[in-house]
Chains A and B, each alone.
Chain A
Amino acid sequence: MNALRQHDTRIPRRPLLWLAAALVFTLPPLFATLAPWVPGLLLVTIAAKFWMEPRGYRLRSVVWKLVLAALALGAIVLSYGALRGIEPGISLVVVLMALKIVEAHTAREFLFMVMLSWIICLCGLFLAQSLTISVCLLLAFVLLLAALVQFHRGSAVGDLRPPLRLACSLILQALPLIVLLFFVFPRITTGFRLLTPGSASTAGFSDELEPGSVEKLALSPAIAFRAEFPDGKIPRPAELYWRGLVMWNGNGMRWRAPSAPAILPHRQDAVPGQTLRQLITLEPHGGRWMFALDWPVAAPSGAARAPGDYLWSWQPITKPRRYEVTSVIKRGSQELSARERALTLEVPRGITPKVRELAEEWSNAGKPEAVVQRGLAFFRDQHFRYSLSPGTYQKNDLEDFLFHRRLGFCEHYASSFATLMRLAGVPSRVIVGYMGGEFNSVGHFFLVRQSDTHAWCEVWLAGSGWTRVDPTAIVAPERISQGLDSYLESSAASGETVRQNGFGRALSRQPALTRLRLAWQTLNYEWDTSVLSFDADAQQAFASEFGVSGVTPFVLALLSAILLVLLVMAVALGLHLRGRSRPDEVTLIYRRFCLRAARLGAAREECEGPSRFARRAALALPKESARIARIVEHYIQLRYAPSPDPSLRQALRAEVKAFGAG
Chain B
Amino acid sequence: MKSDDRLRVRLTAAGCGLLFVLLAIWYGASSQNNAAAYLLFFALGSVAAVSIAHTLLNVAGLAAMVEAPKPVFAGDEVSLPVEIGNTSRRFRYFVSIQAADSGGEEERVDEIGAARAARTVLRFTAPTRGHHLVEKLRLSSAYPLGIVRATKSISTSQAYLVYPKPEGERPLPESFISTQAIRPDADTGDGDEFAGVRPYVPGESQRHVDWKAVARGQPMLTKKYQREVGGTLSLDFAKVPGNDLEARLRQLTQWVLEAERSQRSYSLRLPGVIIHSSLGEMHLRQCLRALALFT
Contacts and interface: CB of A to CB of B under 8 A. Distances in A.
Contacts of A567: 46, 49-50
Interface string A174-186: 1101100110010
Contact of A194 (B17, B32, B52, B94): B32
Given A154-B93, A174-B47, A178-B46, A191 B38 contact: no
A129 B34 CA distance: 8
Interface string A97-133: 0000000000000011001001101100110010000
A187 B37 CA distance: 12
Interface string A454-466: 0000000000000
Contact of B31 (A134, A171, A191, A579): A191
Contacts of B24: 119, 122
Contacts of B289: none
Interface stretch (A373-381, A410-418, A532-540): A532-540
Interface string A1-39: 111101000000000000000000000000000000000
A488 B200 CA distance: 109
A531 interface: yes
A581 B62 CA distance: 13
B53 A155 contact: no
A165 to B, nearest CB: 11
Interface stretch (B128-136, B140-148, B224-232, B266-274): B140-148
B21 interface: yes
Contacts of A267: none
Contact of B40 (A6, A125, A190, A194): A125
Contact of A125 (B36, B90, B108, B142): B36
Contacts of A3: 96, 106, 108, 142
Interface in A513-548: 531-536
Contacts of A119: 21, 24-25
Interface in B1-41: 12-14, 17-18, 20-21, 24-25, 27-40
A153 interface: yes
B236 interface: no
B89 interface: yes
B120 interface: no
Contacts of A171: 43, 47
Contacts of A572: 53, 56-57
A190 B30 contact: yes
B186 to A, nearest CB: 42
A148 B25 contact: no
B240 interface: no
Given A187-B33, A187-B38, A576 B49 contact: no
A578 B90 contact: yes
Contact of B38 (A148, A182, A578, A581): A182
A443 B14 CA distance: 45
B42 interface: yes
A57 B88 CA distance: 44
Interface residues of B, number: 57
A139 interface: no
A540 to B, nearest CB: 14
Nearest to A154: B110
B152 to A, nearest CB: 15
Interface residues of A, number: 66
Contacts of A190: 27, 30-31
Interface in B70-125: 87-90, 93-94, 96, 98, 105-106, 108, 110-111, 115
B83 to A, nearest CB: 17
B54 interface: yes
A191 to B, nearest CB: 4
A170 interface: yes
A568 B45 CA distance: 11
Interface string A539-572: 0000000000000000000000000100111011
B44 interface: yes
A530 to B, nearest CB: 10
Contact of A178 (B25, B42, B56, B89): B42
Nearest to B146: A152
Interface in A127-166: 129, 134, 137, 141, 145, 148-149, 151-156, 166
Nearest to A530: B35
A193 B146 contact: no
Contact of A118 (B25, B42, B94): B25
Contacts of B156: none
B33 A189 contact: yes
A641 interface: no
B51 interface: yes
A579 B39 contact: no
A79 interface: no
A125 B37 contact: yes
A503 interface: no
Contact of A575 (B35, B90, B94, B108): B90
Nearest to B35: A532
A153 B49 contact: no
Given A571-B53, A581-B88, A181 B25 contact: no
Contacts of B28: 122, 126
A341 to B, nearest CB: 44
A534 B36 CA distance: 10
A599 interface: no
A579 B61 CA distance: 10
A62 interface: no
Nearest to B140: A3
B115 to A, nearest CB: 6
Nearest to B26: A190
A640 interface: no
B27 A170 contact: no
B145 A155 contact: no
Contact of B46 (A112, A174, A192): A174
B40 A121 contact: yes
A177 B43 CA distance: 8
A147 B102 CA distance: 34
Interface string A200-237: 00000000000000000000000000000000000000
A579 B88 contact: yes
Nearest to A534: B35
A582 B88 CA distance: 8
Given A125-B37, A185-B38, 5 more contacts: A125-B36, A185-B42, A187-B38, A189-B33, A575-B57
Interface of A: 1-4, 6, 111-112, 115, 118-119, 121-122, 125-126, 129, 134, 137, 141, 145, 148-149, 151-156, 166, 170-171, 173-175, 177-178, 181-182, 185, 187-194, 319, 531-536, 564, 567-569, 571-572, 575-576, 578-582
8 closest A-B pairs by beta carbon, nearest first, are A154-B110, A579-B90, A174-B46, A572-B53, A191-B31, A129-B36, A177-B46, A181-B42
10 contacts: A1-B13, A2-B98, A122-B28, A174-B46, A182-B39, A187-B33, A193-B32, A194-B32, A531-B36, A568-B49
